[in-house]
Amino acid sequence: MGGLLLVLFWLPVFGPLIAGLVGGWKAGTVGRAIAAVFLPALLTGLMAFAGVTYLTDWYVWGILAGVGGVLLCLLNVVPLLGGAVVGGLAARFSRP
């Protein structure tokens, strides 16, 4: 879902929506689709925290960068989450 979101970054609302639909369909259930939405945002925040903390001697800058990374990633969550829920429901009801 995160890779497809990077490919479709140039579509402001429809890019995350399409990525959420495809990711929700591939996840198969709504619960796993929701986990797939929030996991990339949290991992990006952790990587930003680790990278900035490594480059600076003060861990507070790492915390600020980590929180900023998570907040920037969560800006795309609304259409991504909507697409993931619809894709997860569609995948669940389409299987016999």
11 in a structural domain = no
Domain that holds residue 66: 16-94
Coil/strand/helix, residue 29: coil
Q: What is the pTM assigned to this prediction?
A: 0.74
Question: H or E segment at 88?
Answer: helix 77-94
Identify the burial level of 28 via C-beta atoms within 10 angstroms of its C-beta, where 0-12 means exposed, 13-18 middle and 19 or more buried: middle
Question: What is the tally of structural domains in the chain?
Answer: 1
Task: Give the Cα separation of 71 and 21 in Å (integer).
Answer: 22
Condensed to tens digits (0 to 9), the pLDDT of residues 45-73 reads 788 888 888 888 788 888 888 788 777 77
Condensed to tens digits (0 to 9), the pLDDT of residues 11-58 reads 888 988 999 999 999 999 999 999 988 887 788 778 888 888 888 878
| Nearest residue to 81 via CA among 14, 31, 32, 20 | 20
49 in a structural domain = yes
- Assess contact for 27 and 33: CB atoms under 8 A: yes
Give the contacts of 37 (CB within 8 A, at least 6 positions apart). 1, 20, 23, 77, 80, 81, 84
24 in a structural domain = yes
